[in-house]
Chains A and B, each alone.
Chain A
């Protein structure tokens, strides 16, 4: 699966409260209603500016903080094709894979807001069209690849009744 879109860059340690503030957790049960509040406390208006297919680029430890699955769900509902960061907080990383939001662990230092990026999710490679730089994602554990291939954790468990490590 190929994704191409415009980069939106954020800094280090973007926590799940910044992705979607706690006060909206009960505002609506539909993540699509919450996309306008995406990143609201650190970048007001981002939720209105972001376009389907855009790419979220961040610094280290993206998604730290709470276990709320609303964080990756709202990012996915906003149409963001992939989140790329040099490291992810582990609960967010698992949640993203489980719900089918693509995530890429890679160096993001050379990417600027507005750069056009293209990714081949299956191959784990990408390209910064603005700079010509190539991007290589760190490989996922086999179990996560299996979950992604099955279409998320629910489909994986329905199919195998357990976790397929190999």
Chain B
């Protein structure tokens, strides 16, 4: 019998059967989580499943991350979610605590081998800890809240093998965009992606989360990275329960293998309005920048903010440019305050926003651009109208490219500025 991929191992363990790609299983969930951003709220559908109670209050977590600056409708949703959390005895992360996909691993809610679902498409982020984490809609979530289970098709896996060490000024986001450009917006639809190889081994956990976060933009159900010493060091002090290392078997069967040479990679930009419309920065025509966003669940962790600060230290952003920095969690914000990174960014002209989804989607009522404006963002989506104005243009980039672009007012190759 052939070996198993990470996805097959986890779904075998959680379904209690020998799960192979293509099988349909009912799997038991270790964690479920929802946020305030989608309607209907999953909690509003729970009773339609024939029960008033979450199956296990310790395994459902709520996040008020999508509307850190609520309007009247989202304020009412917040009240409803807080009341639900109290009544059900489930944990709720408040406004300003940060984005679910960042907070969950940071606060030790996700262990290697876990099966988790979130009612948000970027729930694939947790896969950097070799956990099968995936996004669902509100009705699937409500069914999971009622039963503790979900039906799933065991996905085929695409192995993305990365060799070579990323050059100076080129980071995990550039690698992620290069892979998205290669695989395409639906190249991994219904599949899982495993990221592996020496490049990944050398990446920090922050960089690994940036990579797995982008898996959904390739259509993937999960983006997975096996565990190693980097995982172990990062989990130390965060995860309070026992866990075991988890990697694919050497003879696991992959649907496709994609080889990426990271050593020759240059900074990458995703052009408006598709995440897979990726170009090398040296091939980009001179492009004026009006607004820069360093934020979202893709690339606004401590090391991302620190990288931007290294480029902006002692300097000031170009006149006429707005720089919005949204630390992705409260822990990120505190660490960046203590290290002086936030002070450097503010002195350089940045506006600091509430940890959460501000600066990602127009529904957050924040950082909405004007007609005709160009935005450089460390986000994961550049869809037309994503920031609330269909007549603006979003370019996705690394934190280093974002910072260098804020400095000059043009989309700028950060390698000229990287320390």
Are A66 and B120 also in contact (CB < 8 A) when A23-B363, A25-B363, A95-B139 are? Answer: yes
Binds A, one of B1-9, B84-92, B380-388: B380-388
Q: Is the CB of B135 within 8 A of A27?
A: no
Complex A-B: 12 CB contacts under 8 Å = A21-B362, A23-B362, A26-B71, A26-B77, A29-B39, A68-B37, A69-B38, A69-B137, A90-B221, A95-B139, A165-B25, A165-B26
User: What is the distance, in angstroms, from A136's C-beta to the closest C-beta of chain B?
Assistant: 20
Q: Is the CB of B49 within 8 A of A157?
A: yes
Extra A-B contacts (15), CB below 8 Å, given A17-B383, A23-B363, A157-B50: A13-B185, A22-B363, A22-B386, A24-B363, A29-B39, A29-B73, A67-B38, A68-B137, A70-B38, A153-B143, A154-B49, A158-B48, A162-B147, A163-B150, A163-B151
Q: Is the CB of A91 within 8 A of B147?
A: no
Q: Which residues on the A side are within 8 Å of B121 (C-beta)?
A: 65-67, 91
A interface footprint on B155-199 (CB within 8 Å = 1, 0 otherwise): 000000000000000000000000000000110011000000000
Q: Which residues on the B side are within 8 Å of A66 (C-beta)?
A: 38, 120-121, 361
Q: Is the CB of B186 within 8 A of A89?
A: yes
Q: Which residues on the A side are within 8 Å of B150 (C-beta)?
A: 163
Interface centre among B45, B123, B189, by most chain A C-beta atoms within 10 angstroms, is B189
Q: Is the CB of A68 within 8 A of B38?
A: yes
Q: Is the CB of A64 within 8 A of B185?
A: yes
Ranked nearest first, the 3 interchain pairs of A and B with the lowest CB-CB distance are: A61-B186, A95-B137, A23-B362
User: What is the distance, in angstroms, from A4's C-beta to the closest C-beta of chain B?
Assistant: 28
Q: Is the CB of A154 within 8 A of B137?
A: no
Q: Which residues on the B side are within 8 Å of A157 (C-beta)?
A: 49-50, 143, 146-147
State in angstroms the CA–CA spacing of A40 and B383 once bound together: 13
In the complex, the chain B residue whose C-beta lies closest to that of A100 is: B139
Contact of A26 among B50, B135, B363 (CB under 8 A): B363
Answer yes or no: B113 CB below 8 A from chain A CBs.
Answer: no
Q: Which residues on the A side are within 8 Å of B136 (C-beta)?
A: 67, 91, 94
Q: Which residues on the B side are within 8 Å of A154 (C-beta)?
A: 45, 48-49, 139, 142-143
Q: Which residues on the A side are within 8 Å of B351 (C-beta)?
A: none
State in angstroms the CA–CA spacing of A15 and B73 once bound together: 24
State in angstroms the CA–CA spacing of A36 and B384 once bound together: 18
Q: Is the CB of B39 within 8 A of A70?
A: yes
User: What is the distance, in angstroms, from A93's C-beta to the closest C-beta of chain B?
Assistant: 9
Contacting residues of chain A (4-49) with chain B, CB-CB under 8 angstroms: 13, 15, 17-18, 21-29, 40-42
Q: How many residues of A contact B (CB 8 A)?
A: 46
State in angstroms the CA–CA spacing of A163 and B3 once bound together: 28
Answer yes or no: B337 CB below 8 A from chain A CBs.
Answer: no
Are A18 and B139 also in contact (CB < 8 A) when A25-B38, A87-B189, A89-B219 are? Answer: no
Q: Is the CB of A163 within 8 A of B38?
A: no
User: What is the distance, in angstroms, from B76's C-beta to the closest C-beta of chain A?
Assistant: 9
State in angstroms the CA–CA spacing of A163 and B39 once bound together: 24
In the complex, the chain A residue whose C-beta lies closest to that of B77 is: A26
Q: Is the CB of A99 within 8 A of B139?
A: yes
Answer yes or no: A130 CB below 8 A from chain B CBs.
Answer: no
Are A162 and B37 also in contact (CB < 8 A) when A13-B274, A22-B361 are? Answer: no
Answer yes or no: A141 CB below 8 A from chain B CBs.
Answer: yes
Q: Which residues of A contact B (CB under 8 A)?
A: 13, 15, 17-18, 21-29, 40-42, 60-61, 64-70, 73, 87, 89-91, 94-95, 98-99, 141-143, 152-154, 157-158, 161-163, 165
Answer yes or no: B101 CB below 8 A from chain A CBs.
Answer: no
User: What is the distance, in angstroms, from A147's C-beta to the closest C-beta of chain B?
Assistant: 9
Are A17 and B49 also in contact (CB < 8 A) when A95-B139, A157-B143 are? Answer: no
User: What is the distance, in angstroms, from A28's C-beta to the closest C-beta of chain B?
Assistant: 8
User: What is the distance, in angstroms, from B186's C-beta to the closest C-beta of chain A?
Assistant: 4
State in angstroms the CA–CA spacing of A42 and B342 once bound together: 38
State in angstroms the CA–CA spacing of A146 and B320 once bound together: 57
Q: Which residues on the B side are within 8 Å of A152 (C-beta)?
A: 139
Answer yes or no: B40 CB below 8 A from chain A CBs.
Answer: yes
In the complex, the chain A residue whose C-beta lies closest to that of B45 is: A154
User: What is the distance, in angstroms, from A72's C-beta to the closest C-beta of chain B?
Assistant: 8
Q: Is the CB of B190 within 8 A of A90?
A: yes
Answer yes or no: B374 CB below 8 A from chain A CBs.
Answer: no
State in angstroms the CA–CA spacing of A90 and B365 once bound together: 28
Q: Is the CB of A67 within 8 A of B49?
A: no
State in angstroms the CA–CA spacing of A90 and B137 once bound together: 10
State in angstroms the CA–CA spacing of A21 and B39 once bound together: 13
Answer yes or no: B119 CB below 8 A from chain A CBs.
Answer: yes
A interface footprint on B49-86 (CB within 8 Å = 1, 0 otherwise): 11000000000000000010001011001000000000
In the complex, the chain B residue whose C-beta lies closest to that of A154 is: B48
In the complex, the chain B residue whose C-beta lies closest to that of A90 is: B190
Answer yes or no: B149 CB below 8 A from chain A CBs.
Answer: yes
Q: Is the CB of A94 within 8 A of B140?
A: yes
